[in-house]
Structure 1
Amino acid sequence: MSICSKEGRLAGLLPRLILASSLLAVATATFAQPAPSAQQPTPLRVDEQGTIQTPPMTIPLSSYLSPEGKAFVAEHLNAFQKGIGAIDDNGVPEWMKGYLASARKQFNVERRDTSIGGVHSYVYTPRDGVLPQNRRRVLINLHGGGFGGCFPGCTELESLPIAGLGRIKVVSPDYRQGPKSHFPAASEDVTAVYRELLKSYKPGQIGVYGCSAGGMLVGQFLAWIQKEGLPNPGAAGIYCSGLSFGDVAYGGDATYIGLPLGDAAVPPPPLRSGQKAPVLPYFEGADLKGPLTAPALHPDVLAKFPPTMFATSTRAFDYSAAIYAHRQLVNAGVKAELNMWEGLPHGFIYNPDIPESKDFFQTVLRFFDSHLSR
């Protein structure tokens, strides 16, 4: 090879080397953290157990949120910092009333008050008619509310968008909750409704979903019907929730990230040795690690679950439990999918007006449409 050809190759390579060096400099300036000097120690403190103590931090809203999403999170954080407000006689928190009014206005759905299998329930039917492919299908919505309330507030916000946008019938049972009732009352009620629906629908034509406590109840219901020898529904949706309990809420990293960033709440300190985790009134006396309460801890139970969709968000105190439960289902050989939304708090789906919620509704509808039999 001649000297001229070598020089020509070097000349052609030089601009690329300069570009690569420039990109490396930008990446280094963007991502690298300067090493702490002796005069400026790191502000983070880590003990021998790996517990981290952080200094005060300034955390902006996610740049990936829509403008509507940013406005919602800012409003949500400011409202929750002051407290969630009063709850009326219909189980509707003050902060939820605006979302309810919007949902009732934009989703053309009829609500019927009835009893199914001896359980008080609401049936939501689209006034524009059920789509032809959904005439032999039905969804069961298990509302959120911490196993202690939010009927019908959470029921409306979880059922109206799905029934209206999907043009499918949704049944939402008013299952028993604490403190008047205790586990397994809710599982028994949902099973009674399911038994009744099985008289009119094939198992594969029924889907079940819920948010927060309702998402947890979906898993407990699926474990309960295994015990009862009933067939699985066609598919399940576990939203804003996991399938096991933590020392605080659902546990995991999300307790210490989701609570402050999503709900403007300071998480409690980690439990000391010998301390017991607080228990919801509904679960007093129950085995919180048993297969009927925490299916995520029991691979043999999970292995019999139907196709399952998880949905959570990066500022939700439930995301660790959702990620863990999804991983355990996959390891158990179940067809499961995990959907996460950026920068949003626990239960963001209750605001029906932000683009991220609309995306969630369509994701739910696509999932059930692809898994329920026709």
Structure 2
Amino acid sequence: MPTTLRALLPAERAGGPASPELLERRAKFIATEIDPELRVTAGDTDFAGVDCRTVCAGDRITVLYLHGGGYRMGRPEAYDAYVAALAAGAETTIVAPRYRLAPENPFPAGLSDALAVYEELASATDRPIVVAGDSAGAGLAAAVVVAVSASDVRTPGGLMLLSPWLDLHCSSPFYGTSTDTYFPLANAESARDDYLQGASAGDPLASPLLADHTGFPPTLIQVGGNEALVGDALGLARALATANITCTLEVIADQGHTWPLICPDHGDSILSIESCVRFLRTIDAGKLSTDGARVSRGLPKPDGRISEETR
């Protein structure tokens, strides 16, 4: 019998209430406005019983986007502007789950939601699927690939990570040398403890940097040169190279944690989105397969850039 992805996870556990301070911080994740010139549609949908935000600008591929927020904050509406730019540039559909947050729902609840959505998307369409995310959402995205690799569910066509938090041990030396104040060690450790609540940081489904990366799809990693997660990004790029997986690592000098979200009008943020669009179009064109072989689906070569009208 086929194995459902959720069956690969540890049992779910009861968590505790969020503090008033955390609730106040969550409230600051307000919806962002979508530029009407992008000509995308957005609305709430449901996949596998998980409420999702879907932004559609075409049907070339499907992107499962997992928002950041340290596993305890964030919501899809706060990413409307960012994912709309990605969707418009790549002419694709982006599905952003409203996954359960810690501390009310500790590991593996959020991952369980992400896997349920991925499994339904994989069964509902034969389009390529790219799993993507930022910060803790990037960790969830990589964990989705870890779980899928241990199952009979089809592997995603690509993995796209922004400022990925991939090792919950938080032991990288970059925590001590980072000049970025947005995601310091104290915040990382507090978020980790709220999420794990006694689960092991050594579990590859919690810290996907520690997984066996054999069979991972082509991957794009973006990280700011000033942030503490440079070590996580470097570690994954090294692991993928060792496993003979196609990988692009982009380190953007003088930028901090999730800069395209925090400073969307900065030139580096626009370039970051353009790079993501090129990556998505490459997956769409079938130019990269999970075994690194070159293939072609006979599609025209895209220029991969976002026009002035879609910025």
- Give the shorter-chain TM-score range: 0.7 to 0.9
Code of the aligned partner of 2:123: K
When normalised by structure 2's length, the TM-score is: 0.76
- The amino acid across from 1:237 in the alignment is M
SS at match of 1:343: coil
1:111 is paired with a residue whose SS is strand
Task: Please point out which of 228, 240, 259 is paired with 1:348.
Answer: 259
SS in 2 for 1:209: strand
Q: Tell me how far apart the structure 2 counterparts of residues 227 and 154 of structure 1 sit (CA, whole Å).
A: 32
Equivalent AA in structure 1 for residue 130 of structure 2: G
Report the Cα distance in structure 1 between the residues aligned to 2:193 and 2:84, rounded to whole angstroms. Answer: 28
Tell me whether 1:289 sits opposite 2:202 in the alignment.
yes
Within the alignment, does 1:92 sit opposite 2:29 as a pair?
yes
For 2:232, which of 321, 338, 352 is the aligned residue?
A: 321
Contact 1:137–1:201 (Cα < 8 Å) also in 2: no
Question: Once the 2 structures are TM-superposed, how far is the Cα of residue 324 of structure 1 from its aligned partner?
Answer: 1.1
Q: Return the alpha-carbon distance in structure 1 between the equivalents of residues 151 and 107 of structure 2.
A: 16
Is the CA contact (8 Å cut-off) linking 1:158 and 1:211 kept in structure 2? no
**What is the CA deviation profile of residues 64-118 of structure 1, one whole-angstrom value per residue up to 9, with x for unaligned ones?**
xxxxxxxxxxxxxxxxxxxx995464x516xxx7xx34x5466443211111111
Q: CA deviation at 1:200?
A: 3.0
Aligned pair 1:146/2:70, yes or no? yes
1:283-307 alpha-carbon deviations (Å, 9 max, x no partner):
1122211222223223xx2112111
Q: Give the match for residue 334 of structure 1.
A: 245
Q: Give the conservation status (yes or no) of the 8 Å contact 1:141–1:158.
A: no
Which one of 144, 169, 177 corresponds to residue 246 of structure 1? Answer: 169
In the other structure, the counterpart of 2:97 is: 173
Deviation track 1:258-314 (CA, whole Å, cap 9, x = no partner) reads 2xx22278766xxxxxxxx6533121122211222223223xx21121111110011
For the Cα contact (< 8 Å) 1:242–1:324, is it kept in 2? no
Instruction: Give 1:263's aligned residue.
Output: 181
- Per-residue CA deviations over 1:201-221 (Å, capped at 9, x if unaligned) read 22x611111000111111111
> Structure 2: which amino acid aligns with 1:262?
D
Partner residue, 2:300: none
Structure 2 counterpart SS, 1:162: helix
Partner of 1:59: none
Residue 161 of structure 1 corresponds to 85
CA shift for structure 1 position 227: 3.2
Larger fraction in helix: 1
Deviations 1:128-170 (A, max 9, x none): xx2xxxx341111110111011103543244122113322111
Output the amino acid matched with 1:296: L
What residue is the counterpart of 1:235 in the other structure?
158
Give the Å deviation of 1:185. Answer: 1.4
Shift of the 263–137 alpha-carbon distance from structure 1 to 2, 3 Å rule, reads: same
Task: Measure how far apart 1:371 and its partner are.
Answer: 2.2
Question: Which structure has the larger Rg over C-alpha atoms?
Answer: 1
The DSSP-based 3-state class of the residue aligned with 2:280 is: helix
Instruction: Work out the CA distance in 2 between the residues paired with 1:321 and 1:294.
Output: 10
Give unpaired runs (5+ residues) of structure 2.
Answer: 1-21, 287-296, 298-311
Shift of 1:237: 0.7
Residues 242 and 88 (structure 1 numbering): CA distance in 2 closer, same or farther, change over 3 Å?
closer
Unaligned ranges ≥5, structure 1: 1-83, 269-276
RMSD, aligned CA: 2.6
Select 1:359's aligned residue among 261, 271, 275.
271
Task: State the secondary structure of the residue aligned to 1:280.
Answer: helix
AA aligned to 2:229 is: D
Q: Does 1:117 align with 2:48?
A: yes
2:117 is the counterpart of 1:193: yes
User: What amino acid maps onto 1:168 in structure 2?
Assistant: T
- Aligned residue identity for 2:203: G
Distance in 2 between residues matched to 1:228 and 1:266, nearest whole Å: 35
Q: Deviations over 1:20-54 (max 9, x none)?
A: xxxxxxxxxxxxxxxxxxxxxxxxxxxxxxxxxxx
The one-letter amino acid of 1:117's match is A
Name which of 212, 216, 229 aligns with 2:139: 216
Shift of 1:362: 0.9
Length, aligned pairs only:
262
Provide closer, same or farther for how the CA distance between residues 242 and 331 of structure 1 changes in structure 2, counting only shifts above 3 A: farther
Q: Distance in 2 between matches of 1:194 and 1:358?
A: 28
Q: 1 CA distance for matches of 2:26 and 2:177? A: 30
